[in-house]
Amino acid sequence: MMIKNVVASCVLGLACVAGVAHAATAVAEPATTETSLRQSMQEALWPADIVQAAGDYLRRYPNGDWADAARALYERASGTAQVLSRSDVRLYRGAFQADLLPTPVKDDLRKAALGDPAAAVRLAHAYKQSGGDKAGSRYVGWLQYAATLGHEKAAYELALHFRTQDQPVLASQYEARAVALGYVTPTVLDHVRK
């Protein structure tokens, strides 16, 4: 009889431990309701995060109310994530942090994350005007991003920037890209021409 009691208490103890472990796992997993996934898609700024959130939404709710919007976000953010993975675009996750940014800049950040080259140019100019520690590299990074997305004026602005930095090879590459994108270069240029 005593052996049965010991075995029963061991089984009961294991069941309790398993129940606590299951409860802890359930608490550790984030809530993945349709609303929370939709909110994640709408708030994400880094293109890879947008792709992840939209993919999660589509896996969980393929026929949900926001499925079409999730597909569109997934496609747009996938394209920009590919642009950001290029070696000639020096723009990283930190550039997509919205902490302490004014609302218009945050809006441009989201637009740029979804492939809006004009928003990327506005961000480049905002960094250039800010003059902070990272202003120069962010200015160039956002212009590289915009040029890669097809903004011909951004490519030409980079050509001018690299000319002033005594980097004629990069200047000529971005000038050629600007022309290939349809930019008509001025006939009279400054005295720093190649």
Q: Residue 20: which of 12, 31, 9 has the closest Cα? A: 12
SS3 content of the chain, % helix, strand, coil (to 5): 70, 0, 30
- The most distant pair of C-alpha atoms in the chain lies apart, rounded to whole Å, by 104
Domain(s) of CATH 1.25.40: residues in the chain: 91-184
Query: Is residue 130 within 8 Å of 119, Cβ to Cβ?
Result: no
**118 near 151, Cβ under 8 Å?**
yes
pLDDT tens digits, the chain, 194 residues: what are they?
555 554 445 444 444 444 544 444 444 345 579 999 999 999 999 999 999 999 999 999 999 999 999 999 999 999 999 999 999 999 999 999 887 677 778 899 999 999 999 999 999 998 898 877 788 899 999 999 999 999 999 999 999 999 999 999 999 999 999 999 999 988 765 655 55
Q: State the fold for domain 91-184.
A: 1.25.40
